[in-house]
């Protein structure tokens, strides 16, 4: 019996951009003792937000506000912008899907970095776009190459994550600002700033909200500790922002998540506490790495790329050993970045476990 999928969909695999830790747990038939692989925030959301979300459970029978009115206003206030500059969506993943849909038709070019965020690539493939990839340069996204490629192929979108995932590196504000000037006018810069809350304000680029070529992605999944709530947002020119209304799932936001995100924004003390806890935990990870003779990549995020000292095959062995010992971590996909494993900030208990099992994993990897 014929099933008449679209041409694009027929060509796609039924793939998952990431295997989740729960799937690994089911396969291993054990629960991870340390969940420090998805750059979630073990320090959780604002206690005030948790309290309000619990109270709001009485209103879960109601659809959320499809306009995200109150949350957009609060986000706008945080950034000193108008709510017309803000789009709220089901995590950055969801927003990236809408963005790609708005700009990418079959055969259109899109520029990104080899080994950068796979879910963006998933969306580009999903709409029939052609991915053109720059390489990392010294574990940083290579902005020069990205712009050169975007300009020469008239890319619809150029994706830059800053700070970068999976390496944790940052490109400095001036460089980002200068590539925007160099970018041809047919390309939208998608600036994924999921980890921006961990970066000092003055190290982030200044981008005018009247710029019609830049969309900045932010999230409540990282520093705000609400990955499970699915709240992301996007900052940009009102024309770009309003066009998401053409394609988005208007009633897609969980009402409880809207409320949680709103209250989170008010609790700056908690945010600062998380940033400090992350800093301490990253310092511990650095010490553990050093104690085991490993270099680390300087990070501006809540995770650390630890150079295991050899190639991707070796790092994969280290990772597999950690995973089999109940430590969930991940690693970059491409060479030479895949000489590293990527470890998220965690609780003191998480760090103790990593301290215990990392040398074991290194030794085991060396033996086999």
Q: Binding to a second copy by residue 29, rule CB under 8 A?
A: no
Segment 253 to 292, residues that bind a second copy, using CB under 8 A:
253-257, 260
Segment 133 to 162, residues that bind a second copy, using CB under 8 A:
156
Q: Binding to a second copy by residue 27, rule CB under 8 A?
A: no
For a second copy, give the closer residue by CB, 90 or 193: 90
Beta strands in the chain (DSSP E): 34-35, 86-89, 109-113, 130-134, 136-137, 140-141, 157-161, 188-192, 214-219, 232-235, 295-296, 303-307, 327-328, 340-344
Q: Which of 34, 36, 53, 196 binds a second copy (CB under 8 A)?
A: 53
Provide the minimum distance between the beta carbon of 270 and a second copy in the complex, in angstroms, as a whole number: 12
Angle at 141 between CA 232 and CA 138, to 5 degrees: 140
Pick the closest to residue 90 from 181, 220, 280, 283 (CA basis).
220
Q: Binding to a second copy by residue 57, rule CB under 8 A?
A: yes
Q: Are strands 157-161 and 188-192 parallel, antiparallel or unpaired?
A: parallel
Q: Binding to a second copy by residue 26, rule CB under 8 A?
A: yes
Segment 73 to 102, residues that bind a second copy, using CB under 8 A:
90-91, 93-94, 97, 101-102
Q: Which two tokens stand for residue 202?
A: 């003055």
Q: Which stretch binds a second copy (CB under 8 A): 15-23, 201-209, 298-306, 348-356?
A: 15-23
Q: Which of 213, 292, 335, 347 binds a second copy (CB under 8 A)?
A: 213
Angle at 157 between CA 83 and CA 103, to 5 degrees: 75
Q: Binding to a second copy by residue 14, rule CB under 8 A?
A: yes
Provide the minimum distance between the beta carbon of 209 and a second copy in the complex, in angstroms, as a whole number: 15
For a second copy, give the closer residue by CB, 85 or 257: 257
Q: Which of 152, 174, 208, 249 binds a second copy (CB under 8 A)?
A: 249
CA–CA separation, 263 vs 74, rounded Å?
9
């Amino acid at each position: 019996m014929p099933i008449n999928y679209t041409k694009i969909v027929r060509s796609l695999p039924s793939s998952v951009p990431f295997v989740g830790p729960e799937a690994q747990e089911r396969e291993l038939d054990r629960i991870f003792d340390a969940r420090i692989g998805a750059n979630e925030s073990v320090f959780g959301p604002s206690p005030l937000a948790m309290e309000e979300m619990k109270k709001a459970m009485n209103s879960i029978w109601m659809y959320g506000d499809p306009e995200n009115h109150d949350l957009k206003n609060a986000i706008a206030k945080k950034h000193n912008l108008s709510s017309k500059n803000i789009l709220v969506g089901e995590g950055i993943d969801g927003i990236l899907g809408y963005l790609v849909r708005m700009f990418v038709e079959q055969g259109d070019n899109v520029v990104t970095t080899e080994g950068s965020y796979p879910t963006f690539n998933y969306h580009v493939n999903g709409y029939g776009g052609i991915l053109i990839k720059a390489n990392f340069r010294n574990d940083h996204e290579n902005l020069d190459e990205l712009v050169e490629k975007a300009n020469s192929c008239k890319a619809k979108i150029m994706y830059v994550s800053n700070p970068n995932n999976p390496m944790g590196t940052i490109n400095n504000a001036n460089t980002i600002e200068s590539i925007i000037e160099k970018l041809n006018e047919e390309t939208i810069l998608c600036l994924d700033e999921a980890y921006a809350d961990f970066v000092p304000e003055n190290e982030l680029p200044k981008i005018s909200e009247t710029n019609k070529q830049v969309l900045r992605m932010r999230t409540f999944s990282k520093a705000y500790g609400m990955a499970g709530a699915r709240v992301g947002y996007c900052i940009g020119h009102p024309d770009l922002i309003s066009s998401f209304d053409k394609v988005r799932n208007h009633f897609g936001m969980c009402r409880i998540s809207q409320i949680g995100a709103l209250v989170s924004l008010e609790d700056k003390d908690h945010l600062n506490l998380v940033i400090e806890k992350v800093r301490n935990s990253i310092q511990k990870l650095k010490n553990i790495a050093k104690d085991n003779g490993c270099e680390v990549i300087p990070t501006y995020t809540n995770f650390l790329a630890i150079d295991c000292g050899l190639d991707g095959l070796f790092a994969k062995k280290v990772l597999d050993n950690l995973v089999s010992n109940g430590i969930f971590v991940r690693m970059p996909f491409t060479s030479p970045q895949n000489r590293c494993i990527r470890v998220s900030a965690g609780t003191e208990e998480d760090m103790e476990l990593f301290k215990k099992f990392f040398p074991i994993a290194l030794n085991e990897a060396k033996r086999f």
